[in-house]
Structure 1
Amino acid sequence: MNFDLRLDGLRALVTGGTQGLGAAVVQTLVSAGARVMASARDVSAAPVEGVTYIGADLTTAQGVTHLAQSVLDHWGGVDILINSVGGSSAPAGGFAALSDEHWLAELNLNLMPAVRLDRALLPSMLAQGAGVILHVSSIQRMMPLPESTTAYAAAKAALTNYSKSLAREVTPKGVRVLSVAPGWIETEASIAFAGRLAEQTGTDYQGARQIVMDALGGIPLGRPATPQEVADLIVFLASPRATSVSGSEHRIDGGTVPTL
């Protein structure tokens, strides 16, 4: 059976494309034949041959403008836009530990880059009558951890709701909008976090891994997802193989959220 994703020659932009999930998405797109541009604050980390990297701080309006203009100057537009940049630097300690600055930082990393970049690049997609926008949300939008992810979870919930509204507006005009909500992904950052947790709790990496899974209420699959597993789902959804899929969110969490 031939399962060509039909991505040959399509122009794809991936934000946060040098580490973790973003890097896996970039590599998967390249392997499937797409032309790829990727953004990151540090574009020197693990470059993939054939990929054009743009250095930009997407937590600022100026950084998004620089990235969008670079893409438009280089290609004139995009066929696929994958907003995967995100993360959290908020402290633990619950609601009282979160200042206005922490809240704004979470929104400026997890919501506003997608809003601003869509606004800059959607017109070219609408002009050609085709395109795909995919936002990486999180299961935290449904099950925040009050100790440490309240602001991150709220920003991701806003991203999912924004995705739904945008899909209703532009799907009739030929542009598909989707979101993917991963659970725990074993990225470099997650591995480093588990290592620090192991030191703090006097256990080994596997013990720390279990602590994280228990905090999530368990992962029935028994392990976190790999970046490649999530990237495979994202690239399939963004491909012409999924042309009837729009306006939906797709969870990939090993069964963490106990509802369909």
Structure 2
Amino acid sequence: MFQLPDPAQEFAQKRIIVTGGTKGTGKAVFERMMAGGGTLLTAARGEKPDDIDSDCYVQADLSTTAGVEKLAAAAQERMGGVDILIHVLGGSSNPSGGFAVIDDAGWEKELNLNLMAAVRLDRCLVPEMIRRGSGVVVHTSSIQRRLPLFDATTAYAAAKAALTTYSKVLSKEVGPKGVRVNAVAPGWIYTDASKAMVERIAEGGGISEEAARQSILDALGGIPLGRPAQPEEVAELIAFLASSRASSIHGAEYTIDGGTVPTV
């Protein structure tokens, strides 16, 4: 008979990587998995934040091949491998103004951050899961793959669409070999990155931040729940998918958007 695990021990003896784990949604996921008893590792380009233990941190730019390889090597050296791989890293930094203002460098930056970081890290770490016959991968996509915003996140939306497709393909390949793969598609999450996007839209359009926030809501068609999601709410969904409670869930994508996407 299936029994619910002790929340404080749910991820005990699990070796876990959370990309983007130093801020925003990634930090919420990192803290949630740590609270469940997991052994954690994350990475970022800058110096180690004060609130993360040195044993849990690698300074690496995961938008580059070298950075991904550095994190993968650290995971092998410090933890002996990875049981759960959670990709949260992502974001958009392109200027406001639509497709015409995004040059090749802008496209490459968004694709490397939002797609290739996950592809490369999977390529480094999933083969060991296959050899072991067990493992979990969770990719964080976005509702923008279905409901793209053109003003400031064209390349981001395209990269997330590619990530969702890649996630499905990977699930078909590695599921029979014991590795579960799922994706989560958040809507608007109110993080520091979201605030920065509002500021960029306001600056680019010569409007107030309140007007910029409203423009996002209008472009999304509104949020029926009445608010953006909090990072901790997304972390709970990811933790569920990574846990044994979701042992029969595979090859799926779960939307968490307060009802933003208007279709079934």
Same fold flag (TM > 0.5) = yes
What is the aligned-residue identity percentage? Answer: 55
For residue 19 of structure 2, what is the amino acid of its counterpart?
T
Displacement after TM superposition at 1:92 (Å): 1.7
For residue 54 of structure 1, what is the amino acid of its counterpart?
V
Any conservation in 2 of the 1:38–1:51 contact (CA below 8 Å)?
no
Any conservation in 2 of the 1:95–1:150 contact (CA below 8 Å)?
yes
Match of 1:74 in 2: 78
Of 144, 158, 164, the residue aligned with 2:162 is 158
Any conservation in 1 of the 2:95–2:200 contact (CA below 8 Å)?
no
- What CA distance in whole angstroms lies between the structure 1 residues aligned with 2:169 and 2:110? 21
- What CA distance in whole angstroms lies between the structure 1 residues aligned with 2:251 and 2:212? 37
Of 197, 202, 207, the residue aligned with 1:201 is 207
Displacement after TM superposition at 1:152 (Å): 0.7
- What CA distance in whole angstroms lies between the structure 2 residues aligned with 1:197 and 1:104? 21
Tell me the TM-score normalized by structure 2: 0.91
Question: CA, structure 1 residues 171+3, in 2 after alignment: closer, same or farther (shift >3 Å)?
Answer: same
Of 59, 67, 79, the residue aligned with 2:63 is 59
Question: CA, structure 1 residues 193+88, in 2 after alignment: closer, same or farther (shift >3 Å)?
Answer: closer
Match of 1:256 in 2: 260
* Secondary structure, counterpart of 1:111 in structure 2: helix
Stretch moving more, 216-225 or 194-203: 194-203
What is the number of equivalent residue pairs in this alignment? 258
Any conservation in 1 of the 2:32–2:235 contact (CA below 8 Å)?
yes
Displacement after TM superposition at 1:56 (Å): 0.6
Of 116, 120, 124, the residue aligned with 1:120 is 124
Stretch moving more, 45-54 or 249-258: 45-54
Kindly report the root-mean-square deviation, in angstroms, between the aligned alpha carbons of the 2 structures.
Answer: 2.0
- What CA distance in whole angstroms lies between the structure 2 residues aligned with 1:183 and 1:221? 12
Of 153, 157, 168, the residue aligned with 1:149 is 153
Any conservation in 2 of the 1:137–1:156 contact (CA below 8 Å)?
yes
User: Are 1:4 and 2:6 counterparts?
Assistant: yes
What per-residue deviation string (whole Å, max 9, x for no partner) do you get for residues 145-197 of structure 1? 12222111110000000000000000111000011000000012223444666
What per-residue deviation string (whole Å, max 9, x for no partner) do you get for residues 189-238 of structure 1? 2234446667853465xx65434222211000000000000001001110
Match of 1:37 in 2: 41
Any conservation in 1 of the 2:88–2:139 contact (CA below 8 Å)?
yes
Match of 2:183 in 1: 179
- What CA distance in whole angstroms lies between the structure 2 residues aligned with 1:149 and 1:60? 21
The unaligned stretches of length 5 or more in structure 1 are none
For residue 4 of structure 1, what is the amino acid of its counterpart?
D
Match of 1:229 in 2: 233
The unaligned stretches of length 5 or more in structure 2 are none
What per-residue deviation string (whole Å, max 9, x for no partner) do you get for residues 115-157 of structure 1? 0000000111112111000110000111111222211111000
* Secondary structure, counterpart of 2:58 in structure 1: strand
Question: CA, structure 1 residues 223+125, in 2 after alignment: closer, same or farther (shift >3 Å)?
Answer: same
For residue 123 of structure 1, what is the amino acid of its counterpart?
P
Question: CA, structure 1 residues 2+163, in 2 after alignment: closer, same or farther (shift >3 Å)?
Answer: closer
